[in-house]
Amino acid sequence: LGYAESEIIGKNWFDSFIPPLYRKQIKEVSTRIFKGELESFEYNENPVLTKSGKERLIAWHNTILKDESGKVTGHLSSGEDITEKKKAETALKESEKRYHMLFDLLPYGGDVFNTEGIIETVSKTSEALFGYSSSELIGKHISFLLDPEYLPIFKKKFPLLLDGKPSSAEVVMVRKDGKKLNILRAAQPIVNESGKVKAILALNVDITAKKKAEEVQKKLEKRIQQTQKLESLGVLAGGIAHDFNNILTGVLGNAGLAQLSLSPASPALNNIKKIETSAQRAAELCNQLLAYSGKGKFVVQPVNLNHIVEEMIHLLEVSISKKAVLKYNLAKNLPAVDADITQIRQVIMNLIINASDAIDKKSGIITITTGAMECDSQYLTKTFLDDELKQGVYIYLEVSDTGHGMEEESKNKIFDPFFTTKFTGRGLGLAAVLGIMRGHKGAIKVYSELGKGTTFKILLPSSTKSASKISKHVSKGLKWRGEGIVLVADDEETIRAVGRETLEYAGFNVITAADGREALEKFRENYDKIILVLLDMTMPHLSGEEVFREIRRIRPTIKVILSSGYNEQEATNGFVGKGLAGFLQKPYRPQQLIDTVRTIITKK
């Protein structure tokens, strides 16, 4: 206290050495102890005044002195100055308080666990992140929050932390409600003065949204790559089909004309029919190439998928393996879709053949199911051909089989041209389905499990119109006869020859031209005599569109039939509203040419 012993003895303890603020309270307690009303405190703390007037905090250890009769005669107290110790404790508490405040203010979840992995402290952010209160987590092992799949990572990293090395890892942690979170967890050892690790501080950054965004981005990039691949292959397929169709027009045309020049008893007739059949198969392959490229012939009208399936029942049943059974589950009152009947028939046939191949030599069931469903954007993004399809009501047709199914690698390649899980040269079946659905602004969903089977589900937007009746065209063949001059313009000599011979056989006089410039010159020479022009789309010097524009300027009423190896929609795009009389898709047979000419000429 700064006093000499002589300065203390004889003075009143309370009045001289106890600060005024505490004096009355301490004096009253002491008086009651002396009177025997209170038991003495073996330990207490109170401030005292030093000689300089400063307060010091003293920790007292007390003993009561009594006489032989038990009367209290005095106190024996020894004191320890704990002023600095108390200041240090207070400073530590304030530091811990500030630490907890900062810990709770962190934007990331935080926790502290000891060297045994037991959680000691949890931040408010972690409480919110994981859905647990601090009391529910403190005392639990840190692995309590980890997805079991990630325990090996913890076991690998934990020894590094105990060695004083910081560590981080992407893990999955589980909320109280069971929801899994992607967490970037960074841990830092806390060491004491001697450098020994006494605890570990960990920060938890929730990267769930980031991971989902990355997954979406990867899927988008994959979809873009797939789209670019489809577009590139589509351009190639479309170009090949166009050139091949020109060649096949000559083959089919000459085969048809050859049949006309032979008697029914001619032994060559059967061979010519075989040529015609083979050429027709090649033409069908071209159609599938065009379908894959999204440039097939589309005549869109409101149709009912059930009606198309019902019309095809016999054809489907003879097209599948004898060990496969076809079952139908067609929804009643099915809304219409805007589609090309021929193309949808091709889709159904290709899917059925694919299902039959999947069943192979064993017995199995193929089921065709139709229905309507509401598709949101989330569902549509998980389909093939998600070209920003609009959500709404879609009509679906499913073809399911009980075949061998597919692993994920095969599933990702099934729409590649000529890809097969069985043998080479299978064709464009599913690739054509993809192209047709792309052309119809539809989508495809594929479900498959190895050993259990596969389901292909095509989705088409519901139409606001009623379905049209499916009608069959009846050709009058080569019996019809016409008259007048027809101009045939095509840069392929074979096609010009077929056109000339066919039309001459039907009674017409024919003028031919090998390019656009020659076609225009011959039309100018005979513009008042020519009754019809058969015009190729792509020719040297002047294109079909340029020739059409000029001859219509010379004679606005002239009837023009456009012919092309491309589909009608693409080929006639530049002729819309300009008076084109008709379109003839290559390859065509002689009777198809005459049917088209007859329809145009006799049309009132």
Please state the domain extents for the chain: 5-87, 97-210, 218-291, 305-461, 485-602
pLDDT band at 423 (very low <50, low <70, confident <90, very high): very low
CATH 3.40.50.2300 fits 485-602, yes or no: yes
Structure pTM?
A: 0.48
- The single-letter code of the amino acid at 167 is S
Contact between 350 and 429 under an 8 Å Cβ cutoff? The reply is yes
Contact between 563 and 534 under an 8 Å Cβ cutoff? The reply is yes
What superfamily in CATH does domain 305-461 come from? Answer: Histidine kinase-like ATPase, C-terminal domain (3.30.565.10)
Q: Is 288 helix (H, G, I), strand (E, B) or coil?
A: helix
* pLDDT of the residue at 544: 87
Count of CB atoms within 10 A of residue 565's CB? 26
Residue owning tokens 């060649």: 247
pLDDT tens digits, 48-77? 888 888 888 888 888 888 888 878 787 788
- Per DSSP bridges, beta strands 485-489 and 509-513 are parallel
Looking at 1.10.287.130, 1.20.1250.20, 3.60.15.10, 3.30.70.2660, the CATH number of the domain 218-291 comes to 1.10.287.130
CA 410 – CA 444 distance, rounded (Å): 16
Which of these, 297, 285, 295, 298, lies nearest to 234 by C-alpha position? 295
CA 488 – CA 506 distance, rounded (Å): 14
Q: Report the alpha-carbon angle 406-409-414, nearest 5.
A: 65
Q: Is 155 helix (H, G, I), strand (E, B) or coil?
A: helix
CA 419 – CA 544 distance, rounded (Å): 37
Residue owning tokens 């005549």: 299
> Which residues face 533 on adjacent strands?
487, 560
Looking at 3.30.9.10, 3.30.70.260, 3.30.450.20, 3.40.47.10, the CATH number of the domain 5-87 comes to 3.30.450.20
Chain center to CA of 416? 18
CA 357 – CA 324 distance, rounded (Å): 10
* pLDDT of the residue at 292: 63
* pLDDT of the residue at 422: 53
> Which residues face 57 on adjacent strands?
47
**Bigger pLDDT: 577 or 249?**
249
**Bigger pLDDT: 64 or 142?**
142
3-state secondary structure 118-153: EEEEECHHHHHHHCCCHHHHCCCEHHHHECHHHHHH
CATH 3.30.450.20 fits 97-210, yes or no: yes
Which of these, 111, 136, 129, lies nearest to 121 by C-alpha position? 111
Same fold, 5-87 and 97-210: yes
94 contact partners, CB below 8 Å, separation of at least 6: none
Q: Please state at what angle helix 268-292 crosses helix 208-261, rounded to 10 degrees.
A: 160
Percent of the chain with pLDDT over 90: 25
- What average pLDDT is seen over the chain? 83
Helices (H) and strands (E) in the chain, counts: 19, 20
How large is the average pLDDT for residues 323-340? Answer: 91
Q: Is 407 helix (H, G, I), strand (E, B) or coil?
A: coil
- pLDDT of 297 over the 60 cut: no
> Which residues face 513 on adjacent strands?
489
pLDDT tens digits, 458-468? 999 998 877 66
CA 461 – CA 106 distance, rounded (Å): 50
What the block records as the tokens of 576 is 């819309």
Which of these, 602, 595, 603, lies nearest to 256 by C-alpha position? 595
Q: Report the alpha-carbon angle 16-20-24, nearest 5.
A: 95
159 contact partners, CB below 8 Å, separation of at least 6: none
